[in-house]
Amino acid sequence: MIPTGVDLEIVNVDVKDIRFPTSLGAHGSDAMHTDPDYSCVYVTLETLRGVSGYGLTFTLGRGTDVVKLSVLTLKHLIQGRNAGEIFANFSHIWRSLTSESQLRWIGPEKGVTHLAVAAVVNALWDLWAKLEGVPLWRLLSTMEPELLVSTIDFRYISDVITPAEAIEMLKKAQEGKEERIEELLKTGYPAYTTQVGWMGYSDDRIRELCKKYLELGFTAFKIKVGRDITSDINRCQLVRKEIGYENTLMIDANQIWDVEEAIEWVKRLSQYKPLFIEEPTSPDDVLGHATISRALRPLGVGVATGEMCCNRVMFKQFLQAGAMQFCQIDSARIGGVNEILSIYLMAKKFNVPVIPHAGGVGLCEMVQHLQMWEYTSLTKSMKMIEFVDQQHDQFIHPATVVNGKYMAPVAAGYSTQLTDEAVENYEYPCGKEWQRMFAEGIFEEIKY
């Protein structure tokens, strides 16, 4: 299960700033992020054997260069090491990346430096799965519980979960695993769409997209709210009219409100029966989310958050405080697969369903693996995975949704490898498409 060989030396760590000009179409726009250019920092780990691991972290355009530089500061901790030895001591290597004695001051374990760790760690997992010749979800699903748990750093969460407890949870979920794997391969995993309600879209476009996604087999829809209440009421009405009350509606405020404001605003939208309000306030405000949760519980509206929750210590507290009823892990904000596993385990302990964030560059590709592992090997129950139909064609093995369901990936790895064309066209600022757009005056090149 742990690959070995001197030819597993990581001989090169390559890092690229890749940006897609999505702001041109208001794709991805919300109350806080009005003009995102969906981007990523893209890490390639080359081994002597010739097998490479690809990893990425999602960004919104400006600042991708900052995260790229942060990855470069970690390069010396990975380059020249043997990948097999990394996997055999993964929690220690993970801590060396997150707790480097000088670098931790500018984190620790949050923001730029943790996004950088995510890109590197995700590339390591892609490499591991490729070396085993299986998709990541199957690698995780077939790992012995002891090995899987050995990859996790339990620092700062041992008051809520211990390695022994985690192993026991996983062992309890072994029964019927093969059947669940078969089922996944046959039927896929439910998706929900955020595509119908970006902030920048017109009413007509929203109507048209609701119809489109209903026809595509989707039964759950999320829209952006928080800019003004009249518009929100209008959008909720519009979508409910299209999808009916037999389908699921979710609303997402992207951190626009203060605590009291969130409660008052969502009360007014509660008549449209949203399953949850996502990111009602600051992603750091555990106690604020707990207050909002208590206020909205009688109305049947849950609180969801997590895409900007910066590390396992914050997730731990959200769970402890009853501050999230839906846990939205992101595959590239916290420190990669190792740390995400610890959050799945804590969520299971607190009986909080994980409904992952996705939609940015590569996020759907990655998170499907995690959620499928969770189904086969931890909770035995399927929830939903967010789906946004953007940038998938930039990947060699794109996430594929059919009849409103993610098809289980079959290619080896973590589905994180971009096409050569994507890199050639969209590397910033030297890629062909960027050079063209600079020349045509569509964008101005950022220079400091």
Give the residue numbers marked as catalytic: 224, 357
Which of the residues 255 through 274 are near a copy of itself (CB under 8 A)? 255, 258-261
The number of angstroms, rounded, from the C-alpha of 66 to the middle of its chain's C-alpha atoms is: 20
Please give the C-alpha separations between residue 260 and each of 51, 113, 307, in angstroms, as whole numbers: 53, 32, 22
Which of the residues 152 through 171 are near a copy of itself (CB under 8 A)? 155-159
Give least dist CB 272 to a copy of itself, A.
Answer: 25
Reference 154, options 164, 144, 168, 142; nearest CA is 164
Helices assigned H by DSSP within 21-133? 64-74, 83-88, 90-98, 111-132
Binding residue for a copy of itself, selected from 2, 69, 88, 216, defined by CB under 8 A: 69
Other residues' Cβ atoms within 10 Å of the Cβ of residue 362: 32
Query: What amino acid is encoded at 233 in this protein?
Result: I
The reply to whether 77 sits near a copy of itself by the rule CB under 8 A is no
The reply to whether 338 sits near a copy of itself by the rule CB under 8 A is no
Q: How far apart are CA 329 and CA 340, in angstroms?
A: 7
Give me the phi and psi of 384, to 5 degrees please: -135, 155
The reply to whether 285 sits near a copy of itself by the rule CB under 8 A is yes
Span from 142-150, 182-190, 283-291, 435-443 in contact with a copy of itself (CB under 8 A): 283-291
Give least dist CB 357 to a copy of itself, A.
Answer: 12
Span from 111-119, 230-238, 243-251, 431-439 in contact with a copy of itself (CB under 8 A): 111-119
The reply to whether 308 sits near a copy of itself by the rule CB under 8 A is yes
Binding residue for a copy of itself, selected from 43, 45, 115, 118, defined by CB under 8 A: 115
125, 55 Cβ separation under 8 angstroms = yes
Nearer to a copy of itself by Cβ, of 363 and 372: the residue is 363
Q: How far apart are CA 319 and CA 208, in angstroms?
A: 38
Binding residue for a copy of itself, selected from 240, 316, 357, 369, defined by CB under 8 A: 316
The reply to whether 291 sits near a copy of itself by the rule CB under 8 A is yes
Q: How do beta strands 385-387 and 401-402 pair? A: unpaired
Which of the residues 44 through 63 are near a copy of itself (CB under 8 A)? 58-63
Phi-psi region of 149 (alpha: psi -120 to 50; beta: other; left: phi over 0): alpha
Residues found near a copy of itself in the complex (CB under 8 A) = 32-37, 58-63, 65-67, 69-70, 72-73, 75, 99-115, 155-159, 255, 258-261, 281-288, 291, 308, 310-311, 313-314, 316-317, 320-321, 448
